[in-house]
Structure 1
C-alpha cells in the first residue's frame, strides 16, 4: 500500500474533526426543535414555552416547541434518541421518561445513559392530590376511606402508564390496601380536565393543577414534598398520610430537564446549557415557576443532571421491583 493511500483515513478523520469544530463554533445557524413529550396545556408545555422564549434570545435563533405525545413519552424519547446529534433537536423529558419507563416497558428503544447527553436540570415541581371540589372528598383520609368502602370505584388519572403519577397510585394501593382504577392519559392536562368534569376521582398532579385549585374547580387534599406558600391550607403528603393511618407513604418526585442525542458535541451542549441556565435565572421566569409551585434547579450543570438521572433510575427501579408493578 502506498504511503499516500495509508494517509487517506487519517486525513479524512482530521477533516471530519475540523468540520465538527467549525459547525460547533457556528452553532446555532438554524432553528432548534425542542420536543415536548406530552400534549399542550400542562406545566411541562408551559416550561417549554418559557425556555423557548429565553433561549431563543440568548442563542440568536428560534427554539421551536413541538409536542409529540404518546406512550408516556416513549414515542418522543425514541425519536430523539435516533435524531442527528447536531444540537438542532433537544428534548424536555420528565423524570419518569428517563428513570421509570426503562424498567417497565419492553418497547423502550432508548437507554437513558447511553442514548442521551444531559444538558441540565430545569426545575423540581411540587405535586398534589386533587379532586373535584364537589366530590365530597375533603381530605386524603376521605379519599382512602372512600376507596376502602367502594373498591375500584375510585379512579385516578396519570400522564401515562409507568409515569410517576402511576407509581404514586400503585404505592397507595399497596400501602393503603385499597383498590383503585388507573386511567392513563397522554399528559396531565387532559386528566385534570376529566377531574374537573367529574369523570375521574383524583389525580396526583404537577403544578398544572394550581390554577384549577385557585379557581375553586378542584380541591388539593395533599401536596408533596412539603407545604406550598401559595396553598398554605393544604397539608403536606406526610401530614395527610399520617392522618389517614399511612405514615411513611411517599410519592415519587418530579423534575424536568433538557437532553440532546448522545454524540452532540460538548461545545454545543455547553452553549445550550448556558442558554438554559441564563433563562432559568431570569427573575420573571423564576417568579412564574415559583408561582406555579415549582422550584427552579439551583444546580443546572450537565454533570449534576447526569448524576440525578443515574440515582433516580436506580431508586425507581428498586421501587418498581419491590411493589411488583407491571404495565399491560
Structure 2
C-alpha cells in the first residue's frame, strides 16, 4: 500500500512539475532545426517565420541548419532531443512521409518519435519543359511523351527529393515512360534543363519563374489544385490529370511526449504569425502560401500524404541508401 501511495505521489509531483514548466514556457531561447542547407526554400521560409514567432514567444528562435541524409540527420536529432518544447523541426515531406519508404532503416520512428505542431506553408511546384521541346500545353506534352517512350528525361534535385517524387507521380498519373535524371541539387538540374540536356522538371515556382519569364523554359502546369498568383495563366496539372497534387507541405514538429500545453502554445502563436499580412506578403514574393492548422489536422495530413507517397515510391522503385 505504501509503495502504491509513494508511486502515486511521485506521478502527481511529476505532473505538477510538467504543468509548472508549461506555464513558464518559454523561459529560454528555442532551437528551430532545418534539415537543409542555408539559402534553400525551406530555410528561407523557416527564417521568415522564426523572427515574428520569437516576438510572440518573447524568446529568440534560433534557426539551426542540419542538412544530410535526406532530412534524417535533423529528424533524428529532434526525435532524441528533450521533449520540452525548446527543440523544434521545420520540415518537409521527407522525414515522416517519404523516407520511411525510401530507406531500409531509419534511426528514429517516423510515427512515434515526432509529433506535429502545425502546418506552416505550401510550396507550389510547376511543371516546366525546355523551350525547344515541340509542345505548348500539358496535353501536347503527354501525347509527345507517349509517342516517344524513354526519350524524355526529367530532372530532379536528387534521388528521393520532392522534385523526384513529383516527377514519378506525374509519370504514373499520365501513363508515360519518362526517364529520371537525378542531380546534386536544384542548381545543376536547372543548368541542364536550360541547355536541353534534360527536357522536363517539376520543382519550385520560385526557382523557375525567372526562366519562364525570359522564355527559356515553358510552364505547362502548376502542381497544386488551384492556379498560382505568380503564374496566373498556367493551369493546374489537375485540370488534365484529375486529383494531381505534388506541392510539398512544410510544417513544424517536436519530439513525442512534449507537453500538450506547450504544443498548444506553439500552435497558437505559429498560426497567429501565419495570419500576419507582412509575412503573407513576404512569402508571396516566392510563391509560398502560408497555411496553418491544428496539430490534429497536421497529423491527419501526415497520414494521408505518407500513404500517397508510399504508393508512388513503391511503384517507382525509388530508394535511398
Residue 44 of structure 2 corresponds to residue 46 of structure 1: yes
The one of 235, 242, 248 aligned to 1:254: 248
Q: Does 1:300 align with 2:317?
A: no
Aligned equivalent of 1:28, options 26, 29, 34: 26
Q: CA deviation at 1:54?
A: 0.8
Q: Is the 8 A contact 1:42 1:189 kept in 2?
A: no
Q: 1:214 to 1:181 in 2, by over 3 A?
A: closer
Matched, 1:311 2:292: no
Kindly report which structure 2 residues correspond to 1:46-195, keeping only aligned pairs within 5 A, or say none. 46-131=44-129, 140=138, 141-142=140-141, 145=144, 149=148, 151=150, 154-158=153-157, 160-174=158-172, 175-185=174-184, 188=186, 191-192=189-190, 195=193
In 2, Cα distance between the equivalents of 1:98 and 1:178? Answer: 29
Are residues 26 and 194 of structure 1, via their aligned partners in 2, closer, same or farther at CA, if it must alter by over 3 Å? Answer: farther
1:290 matched to 2:272: no
User: Which moves more between the two structures, 131-140 or 59-68?
Assistant: 131-140
Tell me: CA distance 1:162–1:251, structure 2 relative to 1, closer, same or farther (3 Å).
farther
Q: Confirm or deny: 8 A CA contact 2:149 2:176 kept in the other structure.
A: no
CA contact (8 A) 2:145 2:177 kept: no
TM-score (norm 2): 0.83
* Cα distance in 2 between the residues matched to 1:54 and 1:214: 32
Aligned-residue offset at 1:84 = 1.2
Deviation at residue 97 of structure 1 after TM alignment: 3.0
> Given the superposition, is the C-alpha separation of residues 263 and 254 from structure 1 closer, same or farther in structure 2, using an over 3 Å criterion?
same
Counterpart among 12, 15, 22 of residue 14 in structure 1: 12
Q: Aligned with 2:156: secondary structure?
A: strand
Q: Deviations over 1:17-47 (max 9, x none)?
A: 3322222222112211111112222321121
1:109 positional shift: 2.9
**The residue matched to 1:100 in structure 2 has which SS?**
helix
Q: For the structure 1 residues 143 and 310, does the alpha-carbon distance in structure 2 shift closer, same or farther, using more than 3 Å as the test?
A: closer
Change (3 A) 1:324 1:193: closer
Q: Which stretch of structure 1 is more off in the superposition, 229-238 or 55-64?
A: 229-238
Partner of 2:231: 231
Quote the offset at 1:86 in angstroms: 1.1
SS in 1 for 2:38: coil
TM-score (norm 1): 0.82
Shift of 1:162: 2.8
Q: For residues 81-123 of structure 1, what are the alpha-carbon distances to aligned partners after superposition, in whole Å with 9 as ceiling and x for unaligned?
A: 1111111110111134322221221122333331112111112
Matched with 1:208 is 206
Shift in CA distance, 48/199, structure 1 to aligned 2, threshold 3 Å: farther
CA RMSD, aligned part only? 3.1
Aligned pairs, number = 316
